[in-house]
Chain A
Amino acid sequence: MIRQHPLLQPYTPSSDEPFDEVKAAHLLNRAGFGGRPDEIERVMKLGPQDAVDWLMDFPDAPADEESKTDQPDLSPVEGYPKNFRELREKLANKTPEERKALQQMLMQANREALVQVVGWWMKRMASGPFPLQEKLTLFWHGHFTTSAKDERAALLMWQQNELLRRQSAGNFREFVRQISRDPAMLDYLNNQQNKKAHPNENYARELMELFTLGIGNYTEDDIKQAARALTGWGHDGQDFVFRRFDHDDGEKQFMGRRGNFEGDDVIDIILENKACAPYIAGKLFRSFAYDVPEDGVVESLGAQLRDAKWELRPVLRTILTSKAFYQPRAVGVQIKSPIQLVVGTVRLLDLEFPQPQRLANPLNLMGQVPMMPPNVKGWPGGRMWINTSTLFVRYNTAVFLAGGAMPDSGDRLGKSFFGGKFKGPSQDRGDITGNFRPKNAAGSADELVDQWVGRLIQRPIDDEKKSVLREALGDDPNAASVRKMIQLIVSTPDYQLC
């Protein structure tokens, strides 16, 4: 039994370290996508413990169980075949030209549906009822990665997204079992092709290398044996199927044990490996608090995860209420992911969420398109988000959201990250947030600077920068000059951090 690390004990406010606006905003940034003044005030009133309880008070359920009306618009794929069997039937007795035409229509419809799913999800992040659940869904999407490229079905991507949401704070063992049966995952990592006669090792490898243990905690032979246990796990285009005749039920030697292991046995044995719990708990800590935790923090959290029989909520609660989480080194040290930047800007400026295809190209150029991770490792994050090129795109996109011009993205503007053309105004270069009028443009110039820096950056900035913003407002601030100042605030290095 490892004793809890002192830095993981609960932070309790004191007169020296009060739970102030900066700390409340910090919690809302990390456990969500940023808080508006009313939300910050609410969190301050609740205090650090109750605020976390409030944020964690979401059902372990998919969005469409939370609300029957909250679903992506999937009309683009309406009427198309639902699974491989129907597809085969539809393609039978067709000429090659007819088949090709149908496949192209399907592909186009699927791409449109994908954009709807991505847009629906981002809108949920910005204005859904449970920001922490969406933040966790995004975290797990970067962990149990699946990409929509290769024309993966939008419906399967959405179904997986709902699985990530349902399990986001649930039981990790159950999570691994379910994701290992998820059709989009089985497809992405080729377990669909993993058969007794010809094993495909791709899923088995990533299951250990990226999803549970980290590299160096298994052998090449363990991968081969795990792949055998997972043979026959596939999908029919719609649901998980277990193909008995493709399954290898023979004896396997896996991580020093011998037996006729099945897929779930392999998962259980992996979770018994002592590397697993710290790997998962540490990744959560780094994502929600900061990189490079102090010695012993990860081990302590790992022990808690094992003791809690792989329930994720207690570990999350520990992280979000800990002394570590509120240390000065933790506040404002995280570089916002492109999704955090975009969704946060929409939230903090109280904007209507733009049409998803309008954001596709900027998100692509910033390096983070939801459902299109660069590879199975997900997004590396941290300083990896920033280079001379992405920094320009980040500034330009934030300025655009704050009522500025569409960022110059050349001739690719309006084309989708899924490569398709879109109905609707995607070619329109117009100013989607042209209606953005800052609501509070009243007050003295100094008050307005403080107000908007507080609202957007949520931490103090240096006096030199403040005076530049003060200048930008002019002597007689009006809506236009306030908007101009806001565009400058979101073009600061400070705004890139949370």
Chain B
Amino acid sequence: MLYVVIIFLFFSILLYFLLGGADFGAGIIELFTSTDNKSRTRRTMYKAIGPIWEANHMWLIIAVVIMFVGFPVIYSDMCTYLHIPLLIMLLGITARGTAFSFRNYDAIKDDKMQDLYNYIFVYSSFITPLFLGIVAGSVISRQIDPDATDYLSTYIFSWLNWFSVMVGFFTVALCGFLAAIYLIGEAKEQFDVRRFTKKAVIMNAVAVGFGGSVFIAAEHENVHLAHWIFGNPVSLVAVIAASLSLALLWYLLNKGNTKVIRILAAFQVTMILVSVGYRHFPNIVMVKGGHNLSLLKDHAPMTTINDLGWGLLLGSLLILPALGYLFYSFQTKQSRAN
């Protein structure tokens, strides 16, 4: 059962990253869209993510619940040492979620309020994945120091370091990339398709750039990232697969097969997570001094894990078909309507 729970945890994180990430990315794309085209982007985006955005964000809740029920020590340590970035991420989620629905459900659509909602929406779409990435980076950065005695090294430098920050920006770029790819498939007019394709290319280039900076920052902070990734066959294969799919994706981008490029983009991001995750599994929080927290050791008592595993299995029997039908209906109904 422990492995069932771990698999659910991994999938919730992955799906949050893919679906929620595309969702954040849509805001990032909007942020970097010229003023003339902003409202076109917004319309495409609203049609695409309106019905599903609430469900996309549930993956985060599932991941958090699995953490605090199944791995309470890991959860409470992360909450203590990464209090500040988590808090900022939460503020971002709050601002973003409310601005998104307010701008749609405000009964009077006057420019003044709409501008305000848009402003909040796009900036929080940037901040949230930035800090999500910072949290993810800090977890593996070995900068969390339980023996530190002063405020700065305990609560600030645990996350404010080059490596974590670069992972943050890398995450932002990936979200933008995912969103652009997703929107290509949603756009109805050739003009928009071309616009989003261009965005996807730019975002991809930016992501590759930040990906490189992550490696440089890792060397600077003594995080042995290169060794983790290239030092074992599984991660290496994952990286190669990611690069190959990237090449394929570039090639197909101009061919207009939107389904395949979506799958490739998702595949690529999955491979990036696998390549980093595999090497330290089962450790998920690397702490200064080597007291790493491990999914296989620092878990709740087995009775809890068993109940949790059954709860998740039964729950997914209910959730997955319904969710599938939701995605399916709004995809096909929309395309049929056009």
Are A and B genuine complex partners?
A: no
B positions within 8 Å CB-CB of A: none
A positions within 8 Å CB-CB of B: none
